[in-house]
Amino acid sequence: MAEHKDLPPDDRELEEFLARRGELSRRYREALPPEPAPPELEAPIVMRARRELRRARRAPRRLWPQRFATAAAVLLVAGLAWMVRQQPLTTRSGAVIAPESAPSPPVQVVPASAPLQQQEQAQAAAKSQSPEVADASAGTEVRKHQQEQMAAVRAAAILRAQAKADTGLAQEQIGTAAAPSQPAAAPPAAAVAVPAPAPPAVPPPPPPAPVYSSPAPVAAPAYAPPPPAAAYLAAPAPAVAERAEAKPLAAACRAPQRAAAQRQAQPEEGLASAAWLQQIRDLQAGDPAAARAELACFVAARPGDVVPEDLRVLLPDAR
Amino acid sequence: MMYRDGDPLAFEMLYRRHKDPLYRYLLRGCAHPDSAAEMFQDVWAGLVRARAGYEPRARFGAWLYRLAHNRLIDHLRRAPRAPLPLEEELIPAASEHERPEAQALAGEAGLRLRRALQTLPVEQREAFLLHEEAGLTLEEIAEVSGVGRETVKSRLRYALAKLREALADG
């Protein structure tokens, strides 16, 4: 009690309150009698507690099937993912390709007076390339090589163009390039639209590059890297018409490039007409213009083969 | 623990032992019988759901009032400025054996005390009720409220001083 008296009044009151001896506690209990909880609340609370206990007893039995099912599903998904990851990409024809080998190469126009040497260089470069491009890495290398050749040809063409401009022969080239009805006397003396990264020589052998003077599709599978920008430098305004005309042909020859790349995967002798026609059918679904160009190549290369009826709609005569 | 392990009778025993103090704690904490009844059911429902997680580290009462404290705080945060109930609702029905004068005095004092309780800050009111109604110790009140022991003592000092003044005015 001595300790109790030494405490400050507040602390003394607090100690008494905590011991339930305080005056305030007594007056609190007198003023506010103990109110019971509403009896109507008891029944639902007790029933809920019993229901929860029953549910808890049943729950463990249902967990096992769920766990097994979850584990089985996880294993199945993991196995499928692993299997898909292991399989290589293949085309319908069975050739293994990589995503890089199916692009649409740009098209460039070579004026009519493009030097024969330029064309021969391109064709020689195409032929010199290895035909064994069965896989994606080989196709990538081929395209890379072609681009390098194209750059070299471009540089040479620029130099020639500059030289000719000095001697005043540029206008003659323009006039010659603008002539719309120049027959394709020989492969070099023609304006052709060739895809830039032309694939190497393919079976059948690349046909001569014909002249095209109209928007009609041209059988021009010129599988040779083009001399590109130099032509524009040599023949400005009129060459614009050629470029405009070259675009549809370029579009038409893109597909041949892809198909040619695929054909390179097979031996030249082994490529059957049926397989070639099937490739044309595959192209027809996605790119009719390319399919027409490819069919034109087929007709030019295999004049003796009959075009199936379903593909005849692609022939120029069918329009 | 018996209820946690699946004994339904253990729950009923716990319920009957703690229902009245718990109800008064909630009622005098929010001063609204309807809200108090709702929170009362919520607290027991929460206890039923959480029974599996009960560990006998502390007294069951402290654990129960921790649930009640959280529920009450949530209610006060959502409706902090709810109007005080009418005076008639605050005065409980008098017992038949009490004299009229005693009834009047008790009613008036009770009214003042209820008003004083409601004017207390929430923390002080809670500390007072957790001891007075729930019978928790200082340490248990500190654990339920999530504060230190000295903080609880300070809150109780202020609460007692204000309630003493309210009763002395009468």
pLDDT (tens digit, 9 = 90+) per residue, A60-77?
Answer: 555 678 888 899 999 999
Tokens of A27: 């007056």
Q: Is the pLDDT of residue A214 over 60?
A: no
- Which of A18, A36, A52 minimises the CB distance to B131? A18
**pLDDT confidence band for B38 (50 / 70 / 90):** very high
Structure-model confidence comparison of residues A108 and A303, the more confident one: A303
Write the pLDDT tens digit of every residue in A146-155: 777 777 777 7
Given the structure tokens 């041949």, which residue do they identify?
A256
Angle value at C-alpha A286, between A282 and A290, nearest 5 degrees:
80
Radius of gyration over alpha carbons of chain A, in Å? 42
Strand-pairing partners, residue A193, are A109
Count of pairs with CB atoms under 8 A, one residue in A, one in B: 97
Angle value at C-alpha A12, between A10 and A17, nearest 5 degrees:
95
The mean pLDDT value for A40-62 works out to 80
Instruction: Report the pLDDT value the prediction gives residue B138, as an integer from 0 to 100.
Output: 92
Instruction: Report the pLDDT value the prediction gives residue B36, as an integer from 0 to 100.
Output: 92
Q: Is the pLDDT of residue B91 over 50?
A: no
Instruction: Report the pLDDT value the prediction gives residue A71, as an integer from 0 to 100.
Output: 92
Say if B50 is an interface residue toward chain A (CB within 8 Å).
Answer: no
Instruction: Report the pLDDT value the prediction gives residue B129, as an integer from 0 to 100.
Output: 93
**Cβ <8 Å between B45 and A38:** no
A314 vs A307: CA distance, rounded Å:
10
Which of A272, A245, A287 lies closest to A102, judged by CA?
Answer: A287
Set of chain A residues whose Cβ sits within 8 Å of the Cβ of B113: 27-28, 31-32
Per-residue HEC secondary structure of A108-169 comes to EEECCCCCHHHHHHHHHHHHHCCCCCCCHHHHHHHHHHHHHHHHHHHHHHHHHHHHHHHHCC
Residue of B nearest to A25 (CA): B132
A141 vs A132: CA distance, rounded Å:
11
Q: What is the DSSP letter of A293?
A: H
| Residue of B111, B113, B115, B154 to mutate when probing chain A, most A C-beta within 10 A | B113
Q: What is the DSSP letter of A306?
A: P
How many whole angstroms from its chain centre is CA B143?
A: 16
In A75-95, which positions are buried (b, 16+ CB within 10 angstroms) versus exposed (e)?
eeeeeeeeeeeeeeeeeeeeb
- Cα end-to-end distance, chain A, whole Å: 120
Write the pLDDT tens digit of every residue in B118-144: 889 999 999 999 999 999 999 999 999
A245 vs A251: CA distance, rounded Å:
11
Q: Is the pLDDT of residue B43 over 50?
A: yes
Contact A136, A212 (CB under 8 A): no
A9 preceded by a cis bond (ω within 30 of 0): no
Angle value at C-alpha B102, between B97 and B105, nearest 5 degrees:
145
The mean pLDDT value for B135-160 works out to 92
The residues, ordered by sequence, that sit 6+ positions from B108 with a Cβ below 8 Å of its Cβ are B170
B26 vs B36: CA distance, rounded Å:
5
- Which of A10, A18, A53 minimises the CB distance to B8? A53
**Cβ <8 Å between B161 and A52:** no
The residues, ordered by sequence, that sit 6+ positions from A319 with a Cβ below 8 Å of its Cβ are none
Query: At A32, is the secondary structure helix, strand, or coil?
Result: coil
Strand-pairing partners, residue A192, are A110
Set of chain A residues whose Cβ sits within 8 Å of the Cβ of B167: 24, 27, 31
Contact A139, A147 (CB under 8 A): no
Ranking A39-48, A169-178, A278-287, B41-50 by mean pLDDT, the lowest is A169-178
**Interfacial B residues in 59-78 facing A (CB < 8 Å):** none
Say if B11 is an interface residue toward chain A (CB within 8 Å).
Answer: yes
The mean pLDDT value for A97-113 works out to 54
